[in-house]
Amino acid sequence: KKPKDGFRTDKLDLASRTQAAPAVLDGLKDDEAALEELHLASARPDARYPVVYDMDNPWGILLPHLAKIKQTCRHLEIRACAELATGQSEKALDDIILMLYVVDTAKTEPFLISYLVRLACVNIAVRPIWEGLAEHRWTDAQLQQLQPRLEAYDWLADMQKPLHAEGAGGVLTV
């Protein structure tokens, strides 16, 4: 299957990625202002999306922000991997921490799909973390910053609210 953008390659070695990384970072510059605004907003403790919860049909509640969350995480993943390839591990760490913040903005939502998007986005964040580990790009201090962030995830406990909400929605539908 041919990718739609035509930019796929089989060259996944560090030297090829290091050579491609400056062009990747240059291609992502258009979004720097929006990401900087998001970075500033990440200093706030909470976020709330304009979701209309009080609909008669709970299955009709729209959640367009979930696609934006995942899109932002993909963007930050690409940027963090490119930064790691060019030896900018501090910038990559900032992007990963921002990615985890974005993931957690949907933590209080009572929807199973929100939970699943969060789970997918943390999986997206793992790639640059893994690349940094495999290539010995992280310092001990950087790993110590990441560890408590990742240890804070309790996926079983976080699943309780969405499962109860799904059950309530099912009862309401019946």
Task: Determine the straight-line distance between the first and last CA of the chain, rounded to whole angstroms.
Answer: 43
For 77-127, write each residue's pLDDT tens digit: 999 999 999 999 999 999 999 999 999 999 999 999 999 999 999 999 999
At 48, is the secondary structure helix, strand, or coil?
coil
Confidence at residue 127, expressed as pLDDT on a 0 to 100 scale? 95
Q: Where do we find the tokens 């969060």?
A: 118
Distance, CA of 36 to CA of 171 (rounded, Å): 43
Cα dist. 94→13, 78, 111 in Å? Answer: 24, 13, 28
Whole-number percent of the chain with pLDDT over 70:
94
Residue 29 DSSP one-character state: G
Name the pTM for this structure: 0.85
